[in-house]
């Protein structure tokens, strides 16, 4: 009886195998695909991850190391261009500004004194020149008196006239010496004024440098916008290269891809239409356009990725900086 069961199982297996090989009952061959049907074309879509970025934004930190003394804004504040956002401790820098201001005041006072010296020296030169002119006239007069003596003049009269000429000549020599001294004094006064003016320039340059150093302690908004993020607290140490504040102009946004690799970037063309969806806004579906594709690929986790920038046709409500998005590009291939 057991032998019959085994034989029956073998027969059933053989029949089943024949059915599988020959197809449906009746012995006909198995159906094959109809060669007249067109093959399904490969997809022309490229899907990339992206993030939302404002078109205009700035990431700012301290220009010099220091301790944060004031935080003048909070996240979400609207700020004007050049508005101060964060200030570092400026006691030492302010002291330098005060000292430089005092140096400028002293230098300007010295320059004013030097200018007055030039004025006085010029007046001395004018007076000395007038004295010389008078002395020349006196010499001429004495000579004319001597030369005008009559032939009958006594020796005493002639000697007196000669003495007048000699005295006039001596006075002229003294006047000329005084003029030379006045002119030398004028030159010295002019040199002193030049030096004083140079000192004023140096002092003002020092003040400008001190003021620039003080200004570096203030982190200011480069343009009007909104404070998107703030990572500054009073008493903390700030250092160059560390972002303290991010300011964005929240009117225009773009999408930047993050994983477009070298195998697909050649198929993405500027002007190509895209569809954008957002992980944080599941009901939003936005059309857009590829506006640029990077020529340089950056290394990211062992791959080379190229950034493509997509401009959306409109911005849905609730959009935020760094939201993740999915960008589907129609490659046209």
CA distances from 298 to 52, 255, 295, 303 (A): 19, 17, 10, 8
CB atoms within 10 A of CB 326: 15
Res 43: pLDDT: 59
Each of the 333 residues of the chain gets a pLDDT tens digit; together they read: 333 333 333 334 444 444 333 444 444 454 555 555 555 455 578 999 999 999 999 999 999 999 999 999 999 999 999 999 999 999 989 999 999 999 999 999 999 999 999 999 999 999 999 999 999 999 999 999 999 999 888 889 999 999 999 999 999 999 999 999 999 999 999 999 999 999 999 999 999 999 999 999 999 999 999 999 999 999 999 999 999 999 998 788 999 999 999 989 999 999 999 999 999 999 999 999 999 999 999 988 888 999 999 999 998 988 899 999 999 998 766
- DSSP type of residue 295: S
Long-range contacts made by residues 298-306, C-beta under 8 angstroms, separation at least 24?
300/258, 300/259, 303/259, 303/261, 304/261, 304/262, 305/257, 305/258, 305/259, 305/260, 305/261, 306/257, 306/260, 306/261, 306/262, 306/265
Quick: pLDDT tens for 207-257: 999 999 999 999 999 999 999 999 999 999 999 999 999 999 878 899 999
Q: Give strand pairing partners of 246.
A: 59, 229
CA distance 84 to 87: 7
What's the maximum distance between 2 C-alpha atoms anywhere in the chain? 196
Three-state secondary structure call for residue 195: helix
Three-state secondary structure call for residue 57: strand
Supply the DSSP string of 270-290, one letter for each residue. TT-EEEEEETTEEEEEEEEEE
Res 10: pLDDT: 39
CA distance 20 to 13: 11
Dihedral of the alpha carbons of 280, 282, 286, 292, in degrees to the nearest 10: 40
Residue 196 contacts by C-beta under 8 Å, 6 or more apart in sequence? Answer: 107, 110, 111, 113, 114, 115
CA distance 283 to 316: 10
218: closest CA among 57, 69, 79?
69
Q: Are 229 and 299 in contact, with CB atoms under 8 Å apart?
A: no
Reported as type and span, the H/E element at residue 253 is: strand 253-257
CA distance 281 to 324: 10
Helix intervals (H) in 148-246: 155-215
Q: Is 58 exposed, middle or buried (0-12, 13-18, 19+ CB in 10 A)?
A: middle
250: closest CA among 21, 17, 53?
53
The pTM score is: 0.59
Res 34: pLDDT: 56
């Amino acid at each position: 009886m057991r032998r019959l069961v085994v034989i029956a199982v073998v027969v059933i297996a053989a029949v089943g195998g024949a059915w599988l090989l020959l197809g449906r009952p009746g012995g006909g061959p198995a159906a094959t695909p109809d060669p007249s049907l067109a093959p399904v074309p490969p997809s022309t879509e490229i899907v990339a991850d992206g993030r939302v970025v404002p078109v205009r934004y700035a990431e700012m930190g301290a220009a010099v190391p220091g301790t944060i003394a004031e935080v003048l804004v909070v996240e979400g504040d609207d700020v004007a261009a050049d508005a101060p956002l964060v200030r570092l401790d400026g006691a030492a820098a302010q002291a330098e500004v005060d000292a430089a201001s005092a140096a400028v005041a002293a230098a300007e006072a010295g320059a004013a004194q030097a200018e007055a010296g030039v004025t006085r020296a010029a007046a001395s030169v004018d007076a000395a020149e007038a004295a010389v002119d008078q002395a020349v006239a006196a010499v001429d007069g004495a000579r004319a008196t001597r030369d005008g003596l009559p032939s009958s003049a006594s020796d005493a009269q002639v000697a007196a006239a000669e003495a007048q000429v000699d005295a006039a000549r001596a006075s002229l020599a003294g006047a000329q010496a005084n003029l030379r001294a006045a002119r030398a004094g004028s030159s010295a006064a002019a040199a002193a004024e030049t030096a004083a003016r140079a000192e004023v320039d140096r002092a003002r340059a020092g003040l400008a440098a001190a003021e620039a150093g003080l200004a570096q302690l203030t982190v200011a908004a480069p343009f009007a916008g909104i404070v998107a993020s703030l990572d500054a607290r009073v008493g903390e140490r700030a250092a160059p290269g560390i972002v303290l504040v991010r300011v964005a102009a929240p009117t225009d946004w773009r999408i930047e891809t993050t994983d477009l690799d070298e195998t697909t970037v050649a198929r993405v063309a500027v002007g190509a239409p895209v569809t954008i969806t957002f992980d944080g806004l599941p009901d939003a579906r936005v059309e857009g356009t590829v506006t640029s594709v990077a020529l340089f690929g950056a290394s990211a986790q062992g791959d080379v990725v190229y950034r493509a920038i997509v401009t959306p046709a409109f911005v849905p409500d609730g959009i935020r900086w760094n939201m993740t998005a999915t960008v589907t590009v129609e490659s046209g291939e």
